[in-house]
């Protein structure tokens, strides 16, 4: 029988790298057991919602044309609302990505003269043009919506005094980004998000609190909507799509907010009534069913990566011991060569386009060249094994995904192998544990 290490060697992983990885895995058994327990809880939560809403074979058939009376689409939205404990949800293939879902939620619930507040610092790069921080056609700024931002304090805590000063009579909506984006701040736990929302509501009870939930779904047993968020927003080619959804986004929240979003997505007077699901519903349902377990595999990969690279002396965020609130792991290499080698290793580990070598390039929505490793079954899917990073200081890479833990593990070892081959990491460094 072929030994496991020989399989890894046949895929380009030297024995020293594999042995280093096995040592790390030995330290993580208890941590992984906790992740599996959360996945089991969330799996049952999704199953309960599917059964409660009497999902049947007819729900998988889909519609064409206008999409009137689309049983599967409407049932799926009730399933999402139940899982996120919200009044309503909008789950559509017509929502093209996470940025689109966020833009939809913002544009539909803000009006000229309103002000948008971010109390957690700069939003993700692609939202800058949505808001108008960087000039762009159709931004909120063009529609007379102003923007205010309160940065986190140096220790990563909320600037409560600054937030209190920033909230005013024009403040209509507060956007809270759960994940870090291309920043090296900690990801926000659901508990911290809840505390922030409670503080904001004490100042202005009627403000709409929206949470960018991308990368965070099913990492914890509760979601931001459980702690007061009026809207939670995300992408189906991230966690909740389970790697099967080929497109789509969701907004779950208060009925009024969802109705506003639906009328923006389609047309005033039409709202949720139109939008044919075509033949996409089986992947939406099955992906959502699998999402807790898929997310758990990706989370194990993130924890594994943190332990690997921290022991090699690199700054990792979160560190190897911190609790986890999304699937993203950042590693600060400090050099372009480190970022490039890491991403090329992740690409080389992919099931699709493993023969392709990623290079930094200018991408829409970003202010600097970005390198992306994305050898995925669904183009751009970041619940699948992927990594990316902007080519600017501090030269950090952001790793996420892996449809299975085994693939995530292999991808991390391949990234390390590529760093060794490129001379960024010395093989002798592996002997330090």
Asked if 386 and 407 touch (Cβ cutoff 8 Å), the reply is no
Between CA 23 and CA 417, with CA 400 as vertex, the angle to 5 degrees is 45
DSSP assignments along 308-377, one per residue: HHHHTT-EEES-TTS--SSS-EEEE-SSHHHHHHHHHHHHHT-SSSTT-----B--TT-SS-EEEE---S
What count of other Cβ atoms lies within 10 Å of the Cβ of residue 360? 18
**Rounded Cα distance, 258 and 230, in Å:** 10
pTM: 0.95
Cβ atoms 182, 212 nearer than 8 A = no
Residues (pLDDT < 50) of the chain are none
Q: What confidence tens digit (pLDDT) does each residue in 269-308 have?
A: 999 999 999 999 999 999 999 999 999 999 999 999 999 9
What are the extents of the domains in the chain? 4-42+289-432, 63-277
Closest by CA to 352, choosing from 325, 336, 328, 373, is: 373
Query: Quick one: what percent of the chain has pLDDT higher than 70?
Result: 99
Residue 95: per-residue pLDDT: 98
Burial class of 362 by CB neighbour count within 10 A (0 to 12, 13 to 18, 19+): exposed
**SS3 (DSSP) at 23:** helix
pLDDT at 185: 81
Q: Cβ distance 224 to 212 under 8 Å? A: no
According to CATH, the topology of domain 63-277 is: 3.40.640
- What is the predicted pLDDT for the residue at 202? 97
- Written out in words, the top-level CATH class of the domain with range 4-42+289-432 is alpha beta
The pLDDT of residue 431 is 77
């Amino acid at each position: 029988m072929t030994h496991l290490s020989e399989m890894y060697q046949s895929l380009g992983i030297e024995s020293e790298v594999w042995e280093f990885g096995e040592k790390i895995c030995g330290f993580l058994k208890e941590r992984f057991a906790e992740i599996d327990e959360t996945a089991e809880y969330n799996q049952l939560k999704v199953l309960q919602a599917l059964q409660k809403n009497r999902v049947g074979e007819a729900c998988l058939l889909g519609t064409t044309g206008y999409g009137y009376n689309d049983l599967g689409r409407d049932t799926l939205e009730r399933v999402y609302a139940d899982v996120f404990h919200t009044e309503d949800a909008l789950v559509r293939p017509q929502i093209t990505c996470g940025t689109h879902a966020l833009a939809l939620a913002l544009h539909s619930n803000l009006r000229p003269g309103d002000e948008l507040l971010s109390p957690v610092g700069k939003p993700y790069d692609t939202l800058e043009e949505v808001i108008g921080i960087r000039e762009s056609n159709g931004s909120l700024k063009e529609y007379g919506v102003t923007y205010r931002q309160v940065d986190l304090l140096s220790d990563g805590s909320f600037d409560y005094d600054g937030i209190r000063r920033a909230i005013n009579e024009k403040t209509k909506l507060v956007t809270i980004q759960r994940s870090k984006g291309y920043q090296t701040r900690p990801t926000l736990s659901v508990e911290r998000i809840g505390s922030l929302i409670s503080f904001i509501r004490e100042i202005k009870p009627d403000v709409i609190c929206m949470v960018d939930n991308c990368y965070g779904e099913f990492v914890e047993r509760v979601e931001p909507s459980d702690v007061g968020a009026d809207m939670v927003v995300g992408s189906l080619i991230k966690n909740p799509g389970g790697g099967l959804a080929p497109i789509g986004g969701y907004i779950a929240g208060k009925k009024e907010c969802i109705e506003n979003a639906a009328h923006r997505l389609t047309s005033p007077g039409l709202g949720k009534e139109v939008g044919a699901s075509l033949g996409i519903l089986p992947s939406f349902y099955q992906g959502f069913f699998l999402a807790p377990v898929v997310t758990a595999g990706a989370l194990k990969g993130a924890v594994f990566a943190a332990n690997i690279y921290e022991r090699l002396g690199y700054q990792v965020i979160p560190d190897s011991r911190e609790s986890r609130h999304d699937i993203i792991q950042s590693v600060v290499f400090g050099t372009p060569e480190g970022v490039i080698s890491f991403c090329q290793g992740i690409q080389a580990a992919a099931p699709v386009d493993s023969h392709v070598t990623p290079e930094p390039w200018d991408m829409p929505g970003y202010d600097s060249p970005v390198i992306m490793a994305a050898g995925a079954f669904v183009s751009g899917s970041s619940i699948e094994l992927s990594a990316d990073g902007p080519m600017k200081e501090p030269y950090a890479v952001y790793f996420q995904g892996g449809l299975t833990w085994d693939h995530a593990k292999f991808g991390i070892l391949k990234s390390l192998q590529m760093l060794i081959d490129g001379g960024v990491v010395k093989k002798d460094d592996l002997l330090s544990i």
